[in-house]
Structure 1
């Protein structure tokens, strides 16, 4: 039995790889920049410092759709334990990772590559475990991973709620919407690994996309590779060992009537070094209705279930997500 931990990219996507000279992904050199860095410890200081910190969060969400937070209240020990357990998980044999009876995760939690890819530009050279927070405590066969995930998720959930309520407040809304609809049982953790890729100049680690949630909080290593669109061009994000990255998702763009921006981003492949990251997705229940908080609305009312179904249809039909443009009200 093959005990290799590596997904069989070369074998599974041989037909696409053999066409490498005919189809190439344009991953040119891009400028590296630092995202806005926001010190969240100021939220515990006087009124002036708190308000200035909140204004910076809202400004970055309007202008960038991305920002970094430091002194965020999640201790280094929790972050390092999460990364250690994540590395151990991905080192397990591939045949175990794809077999639910070995992993104790829900069916379909482990994902690798892009099954729907019809060309190299649609292929993501990565593997991931996409885990509902509701499943974490039941991971009986993963004794050391489960508490690490639970500690990490608890802290990041609190941070996501705090940031969402700040962004709502800066829109003039002090509602219970996020506290009532984005519960631990409706949110997700995604543990990502990007293996070294011999076709790094033709394939993405993760193809360009926007996130289908309210907020994403990312804990990444120092390898780098995350890129985003700013002012119509791709820029590379410089890793910061002290920071977590926060980005606005599609639902927040719709809820804020386009004030906060869900920005396209991607991960480029690396020829020599593997990359790890853990993403937390701040999501509502599928029945939650998303409605713009400012009138007249740019977007029509829709449920999260309807949005997710549309994304799945897009991927089947086009090979990639279209997302929010389907929900714009046509004048």
Structure 2
């Protein structure tokens, strides 16, 4: 674990820090901390090439028009949704119907979890990527050489609902929040199906979303004395179909667009949505999963909550057959089918590195994609989300 590696560092470098790093929050709150451990230091090139796009450039989807607009409004919104997936792999969703006080309450509930004493958080540490509740720090600590300035809480909320029992009230608010967000995600996926020229229910039925995996991921990025050397999360894409994210108003999310990194600031009461690897696979590459990363700062702690929406664990995800046949002839499948569960475990066995896991199931990588998936254990988190 990351906690064990920290004990190998010279204690004089961090005069008041604990001998073991049980969490980044604990480390960040160490009296007199002015530098970060070498194990958490990244090369400066991960912080370059950031641009500011003109206001209004990032696509905005009005969810109310998608579900209750006139036929013309809905058709226009479906088209905008498809363009957002194709050109950006990222968009904001407004007028989604999830109450603003619910968004605030779930952020407060997660802050309450991260503020628990370390020994109480350890009750929920988990060991395996498919454990229903896990908390910890960094990501896949068994294969990483540098660790991330991030603590996490992750639990499955569908098809079976799990939640930590602490702090009081978190379970109830998590259940309500996840149900409301899941409804929005399925509405978006219906529109995305149509934007691909498929039936609106295609993704829902093909990937058995009634039993689809919905994963709640809360991230804590404490203040950092050397933010120019640390990373909250490095460049990566998410597994699953769509990730819907909110945060506490402290920026840090960056997405890659046309080879450059773009700072993202959410519109009030909106969801930030990114496309995942399994939407790229299903669309045969028409819609790409977007690379994104999380930066840290020295001024304020950032909390984000991401909800991953994926297929059922037993669904084999491969390109939609309907997209491989056209008037121009048959289009080759660009990806090899793989069970969603196996993809998660494959991701667990690799370090977080761009789209390295998705690359394993590209058709040109058939030989490597068929490799046995390790049953890898450790307090790791490779379903990132920033």
Cα gap change, 1:234/1:132 in structure 2, threshold over 3 Å: closer, same or farther? same
Match of 1:61 in 2: 85
Unaligned ranges ≥5, structure 1: none
1:237 and 1:181 map into 2 onto residues whose CA distance is: 32
Match of 1:7 in 2: 26
Cα gap change, 1:205/1:244 in structure 2, threshold over 3 Å: closer, same or farther? same
CA offset at residue 184 of structure 1?
6.0
CA offset at residue 99 of structure 1?
2.3
Matches within 5 A, 1:29-48: 30-33=50-53, 34=55, 35-43=58-66, 44-48=68-72
CA offset at residue 28 of structure 1?
2.8
Check if 1:211 corresponds to 2:245.
Answer: no
Instruction: Determine helix, strand or coil for the equivalent of 1:200.
Output: coil
CA offset at residue 8 of structure 1?
3.5
Which of 178, 182, 193 is residue 168 of structure 1 equivalent to? 193
1:29 and 1:321 map into 2 onto residues whose CA distance is: 19
CA offset at residue 163 of structure 1?
0.7
2:294 and 2:258 map into 1 onto residues whose CA distance is: 18
TM-score, normalised to structure 1's length? Answer: 0.87
Match of 1:284 in 2: 311
CA offset at residue 140 of structure 1?
4.5
1:206 and 1:236 map into 2 onto residues whose CA distance is: 14
1:221 and 1:290 map into 2 onto residues whose CA distance is: 34
RMSD: 2.9
CA offset at residue 117 of structure 1?
6.2
Select between 291-300 and 66-75 the one with higher mean Cα deviation: 291-300
Aligned length: 320
Contact (CA 8 Å) 2:49, 2:261: kept in 1 or not?
Answer: no
Instruction: Determine helix, strand or coil for the equivalent of 1:158.
Output: helix
CA offset at residue 116 of structure 1?
3.6
CA offset at residue 142 of structure 1?
4.2
Cα gap change, 1:92/1:265 in structure 2, threshold over 3 Å: closer, same or farther? same
TM-score, normalised to structure 2's length? Answer: 0.75
Which of 146, 149, 157 is residue 174 of structure 2 equivalent to? 149
Match of 2:111 in 1: 87
1:298 and 1:255 map into 2 onto residues whose CA distance is: 10
Unaligned ranges ≥5, structure 2: 1-17, 126-130, 325-331, 366-386
CA offset at residue 100 of structure 1?
3.0
Check if 1:223 corresponds to 2:250.
Answer: yes
Cα gap change, 1:200/1:155 in structure 2, threshold over 3 Å: closer, same or farther? same
